[in-house]
């Protein structure tokens, strides 16, 4: 945890607060130390950005979850469009409600 906090420029307490908020749940080593994935470190860095801008931690967590869901939905949509194009069926029109 200490190394992760150092990499991100945050305190260990900040990382524990993200764990308590269930934004990131690191794996534990045999010795009980928290082990963060690269993905979890990116999430924690994004949380820090939002919180540094004055966003409350609960709102920052919700924003990050929604951003992640949107990204996943866009990835799935692109996959489905590619599959439709390869099968010869016409793809539905692109959503222009951005």
Distance CA 94, CA 53 (A): 33
pTM across the whole model: 0.75
The beta-strand segments (E) located in 6-92 are 27-28, 34-35
Give the alpha-carbon dihedral of 11, 52, 45, 60, to 10 degrees.
110
Express each pLDDT in 4-26 by its tens digit: 999 999 999 999 999 999 999 99
Q: Are 55 and 63 in contact (CB under 8 A)?
A: yes
Mean pLDDT of the chain: 90
CATH architecture of 2-87: Orthogonal Bundle (1.10)
């Amino acid at each position: 945890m200490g190394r992760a906090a150092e990499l991100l420029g945050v305190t260990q307490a900040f990382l524990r607060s993200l764990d308590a908020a269930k934004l990131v749940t690191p794996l534990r080593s045999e010795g009980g130390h928290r082990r963060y994935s690269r993905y979890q470190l990116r999430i924690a860095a994004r949380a820090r950005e939002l919180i540094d801008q004055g966003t409350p931690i609960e709102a920052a967590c919700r924003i990050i979850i929604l951003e992640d869901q949107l990204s996943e939905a866009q990835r799935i949509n692109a996959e489905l469009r590619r599959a439709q194009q390869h099968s010869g069926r016409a793809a539905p029109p692109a959503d222009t409600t951005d």
